[in-house]
Amino acid sequence: MLAPAPLFVAAGVLVASYLYRKLYYKRLKQYANFPQHPPGLVLGHLGTVDEYVRRQPPKAHIDMAFAAMRDALGRPSVMFMDLRPLSSCMVAVGSYEVAEQIISSQLPYSPGKVPEVWKLLEHLAGPRSILSAKGEEWKALRKRFNPGFAPQHLLTLLPSILDKVSQFLEHLDTYARTGEEFSLQSRATDLTFDIIGRVALDFDMDAQTDNPTEFMRQYRALIETYLTEHLDLPWWCTPLTQWKRRNLSKWVRHSLRRMIHERHSEGLSSRSILSMSLQGIDTLTPDVVDVTCDQISSFLFAGHDTTSTLMSWALYELSRTPHALSAVRAESDSLFGPDSSPDAVRECLLAPGGEGLLNRMPYTSAVIKETLRLWPPAGTSRMSMPGEGLTIRTPEGADLCLDGMIVYQVHSIIQRDPAVFGDTADRFVPERWLQGADEKIPTGAFRAFERGPRNCMGQELANIEARVLLALAVRRYDFVKVGTGAPVLDDAERPILNEHGQYQVTSEMYQTRQVTSKPIDGMMMEVRFA
């Protein structure tokens, strides 16, 4: 009879052998048919990702590390990363052809968002947000809120948008007179908070004033709990932050519920997106209020974030591209006349039929689209559950099943693909989007608002806001970047043009991650009267 000790040793060896074989299979065999860096037996690709993150500039967005990893592999259309046990396995998509297959898959309404990602944002967007809803629930929400985002309805709200942009220009006037440096991203964020508050809720946030509303202060504090490098950690790693988020979210939701009841009682007297969504609803049940609250939370978050980043990058790119700036100014002159004062432009836009001028700005629209191509506010993460059968064929000819993985469409990679955009893939070239030239670009290669049935509901609002801002600001001011991305000056203190018609810069700008992508330094600027 064997002694207990040898039995335990033998059992331990068998268990260890079993675990080793299982780990060996999962790390080195299970997904060996995917393009990938050599995985580690213990950490998978976590070590490789960390290595490439450390090579990037300080606080650079993780997408920059993914782009460098992909380049090192020869730019495959998809790249597999084993992130277990911190996360599910991930496939980073760098090809518009693969991205198009994903949105046109046989899954109802395309694959849903990643549960583990949206769980982190639950206090910000709500547990039943349209951003994370699936199937018939998503379809019903989209149908209910679409009328409020219809272009013809949004143009009826143009006076409110102009009022808020006028406040923004008052701040720029002050900076132009004092020469003070300021964060364009912060000022643009305040502007877009004011616009989405008015458009979505018929409510003044007063974000651009020295005394914002209590709702604005609390909502801003809630967002700030996400602007840390600990965003991706589980809740139990940051209990104090989680506690603060929960309390702030509870306060914000209570305020939104009150507004929902107020707008419902007002009926058609308000034309806000919220009021439009309540038409035909006779009784506000607790469930209707909660679902509505989640959608308004989502619109407040997405509606301020994307547009403020777009505005910041657009004004930066124009500030260092003189021929593009001249073209935008000439287009505005032709539409609004030689008087570039905000009042004159406002009068043109508010005249009968004047809102139609916003649809006659092809070069300005090209600037907006090119800005979103180079500096997309976010990628999109989808996930097909095991057994759903999400299979793609890569341009390289491989058939790959993506079930059970995070499928991350990296817009900053897809939209800078040299195979599509050529030698100018990393350069600001609005002309590529003008009629005739854009015929060479596949439709699916531009994905800043994503595509397919789950494309961004608020994209038309973002475009209207950006066109209005550029129409009012570009002829009135010259923006000058300071700090990171500042122009190189010659001996006469004049910026130096490079061979591509842009000003040389002291260092390249890049994105950082603050829930979504943002300019690394908040887009620090000086502004002068043009």
If we measure between CA atoms, which residue out of 418, 513, 466 comes closest to residue 318?
466
* Positive/negative CA dihedral, 184, 185, 186, 189: positive
- 8-state DSSP, 384: P
DSSP 42-57: TTBTHHHHHHHHHHSS
Distance CA 110, CA 476 (A): 44
Residues 120 and 129: beta-carbon distance below 8 Å: no
Residues 527 and 477: beta-carbon distance below 8 Å: yes
* Positive/negative CA dihedral, 434, 436, 440, 441: positive
The two tokens of residue 114 are: 């990643």
Residues 262 and 190: beta-carbon distance below 8 Å: no
- By the 10 Å C-beta count (0-12 exposed, 13-18 middle, 19+ buried), 40 is classed as middle
- 8-state DSSP, 146: G
If we measure between CA atoms, which residue out of 527, 509, 529, 526 comes closest to residue 518?
509
The two tokens of residue 505 are: 């810069």
Tell me which H or E stretch contains 412: helix 411-414
Print burial letters for 272-311: b (CB count within 10 Å at least 16), e (below 16): bbbbbbbeeeeeeeeeebebbbbbbbbbbbbbbbbbbbbb
Q: How many other C-beta atoms can be found within 10 angstroms of the C-beta atom of residue 73?
A: 12
User: Reduced to 3 DSSP states, what percent helix, strand and coil does the chain have, rounded to the nearest 5?
Assistant: 55, 10, 35
Distance of CA 417 to the CA centre of its chain: 19
Cis, peptide link before residue 85, omega less than 30° from 0: yes
The two tokens of residue 346 are: 């406002």
* Positive/negative CA dihedral, 519, 100, 95, 499: negative
Residue 401 annotated as lining a ligand binding site = no
Distance CA 268, CA 281 (A): 12
Distance of CA 489 to the CA centre of its chain: 33
The SS3 of residue 435 is coil
If we measure between CA atoms, which residue out of 102, 49, 59 comes closest to residue 80?
49
Enumerate the known binding-site residues for heme. Answer: 456
The annotated binding site is made up of 456
